[in-house]
């Protein structure tokens, strides 16, 4: 429940160690060489190629430090590996991210720190008995929602996008695996908070788990789950930060709902309520798609104007 807070602590600790290591390295520039110091400190370390180079230079640095008889060298030796960028990931479920741990998650996203979050969204409290969460979609049957959840699902991604400087993506590996890979690469490279929300099929859905990826695909085709990537770095290029990665819905929501017992059982226990809730679920999908389609179509061609008014995408922290 408090993994967000713990991870933020790790991020702060790693950042301070890297900052101190950088200060010591600058002090030792005359002994280890200005060129080596510059290469380590200037490299952006945005991808694996950059990190490989930095790690090689750190090996070179560590070979030199034992021969330097200065206090700074002795202090830097155990900290030298911190000069290479460290990635901090938080992994949790929807019950934590949307519900009982949302305050901590929101605090981390608002901090501007370079922390990555992966939410495994099963749309229910999977580990504690199948209770309804704020991520549970309308009409789904779960504990504390035996008559079908009456309210729509909370849009965690949209809330995170409202900060303007958080990378946000929704993924469903069974629907588009290449989009999943792109999202992880972009989230890792982004120098700030990143949030990936992954559709995660679950036994609590009342499905044959061997065909779970097919259910992911159907969820996307119906519009029940929308694939997108919101990358604030695109604003610097005069581009819309939001990219829709799924096509317009081509499957009726009711067809998708009928594939899973968590929805289908409502048609047996309360058929009239099921009709009403299924119709509202379709309205939810239609409204959400129109909203995201409009957001993704916004004109970002006026690069200078956009850059002047857009929130900063660079954290104030290292």
Find the radius of gyration of the CA atoms of the chain.
23
- Is 187 in contact with 252 (CB distance < 8 Å)? no
- All structural domains of the chain with their residue ranges: 3-83, 89-309
201-211 burial, b if ≥16 CB within 10 A, otherwise e? bbebbbbeeee
In angstroms, rounded to a whole number, what is the distance separating the alpha carbons of residues 149 and 145? 5
Q: What is the dihedral sign for C-alpha 185, 199, 164, 302?
A: positive
- Is 167 in contact with 114 (CB distance < 8 Å)? no
- CATH fold label, 89-309: Rossmann fold (3.40.50)
pLDDT in tens, 265-305: 999 999 999 999 999 999 999 999 999 999 999 876 645 44
Supply the pLDDT for residue 187: 97
Supply the pLDDT for residue 8: 95
Supply the pLDDT for residue 50: 92
In angstroms, rounded to a whole number, what is the distance separating the alpha carbons of residues 224 and 136? 12
In angstroms, rounded to a whole number, what is the distance separating the alpha carbons of residues 24 and 248? 54
Ranges of residues in the chain with a pLDDT under 70 are 300-318
Q: Structure pTM?
A: 0.90
Q: Residue holding tokens 């990635």? A: 87
Strands 116-121 and 167-171: unpaired
List beta partners, residue 170: 197, 228
Those residues whose C-beta lies under 8 Å from the C-beta of residue 311, and which sit 6 or more positions away, are: 163, 164, 165, 232
- Which structure tokens are listed for 119? 């939410």
Supply the pLDDT for residue 93: 95
């Amino acid at each position: 429940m408090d993994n967000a807070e713990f991870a933020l602590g790790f991020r702060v600790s790693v950042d301070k160690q890297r900052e101190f290591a950088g200060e010591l390295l600058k002090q030792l520039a005359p002994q280890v060489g200005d060129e080596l110091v510059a290469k380590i400190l200037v490299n952006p370390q945005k991808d694996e190629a950059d990190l490989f180079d930095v790690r090689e230079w750190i090996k070179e640095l560590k070979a030199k430090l034992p021969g330097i008889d200065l206090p700074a060298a002795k202090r830097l030796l155990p900290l030298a590996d911190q000069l290479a960028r460290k990635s901090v990931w938080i992994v949790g479920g929807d019950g934590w991210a949307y519900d009982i741990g949302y305050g901590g998650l929101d605090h981390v996203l608002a901090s501007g720190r370079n922390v990555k979050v992966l939410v495994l969204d099963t749309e229910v409290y999977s580990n504690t008995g199948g209770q309804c969460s704020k991520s549970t979609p309308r009409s789904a049957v779960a504990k504390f929602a035996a008559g079908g959840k009456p309210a729509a699902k909370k849009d965690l991604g949209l809330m995170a996008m409202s900060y303007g400087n958080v990378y946000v993506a929704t993924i469903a590996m069974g629907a588009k695996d290449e989009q999943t890979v792109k999202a992880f690469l972009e989230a890792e490279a982004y120098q700030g908070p990143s949030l990936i929300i992954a559709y995660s099929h679950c036994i609590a859905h009342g499905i044959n788990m061997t065909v779970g990826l097919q259910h992911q695909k159907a969820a996307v085709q119906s519009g029940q789950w929308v694939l997108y990537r919101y990358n604030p770095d695109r604003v610097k290029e005069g581009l819309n930060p939001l990219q829709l990665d799924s096509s317009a819905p081509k499957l009726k929501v009711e067809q998708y709902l009928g594939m899973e017992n968590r929805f289908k059982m409502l048609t047996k226990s309360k058929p009239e309520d099921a009709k009403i809730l299924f119709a509202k679920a379709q309205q939810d999908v239609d409204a959400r798609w129109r909203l995201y389609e409009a957001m993704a179509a916004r004109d970002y061609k006026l690069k200078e104007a956009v850059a002047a008014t857009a929130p900063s995408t660079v954290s104030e922290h290292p």
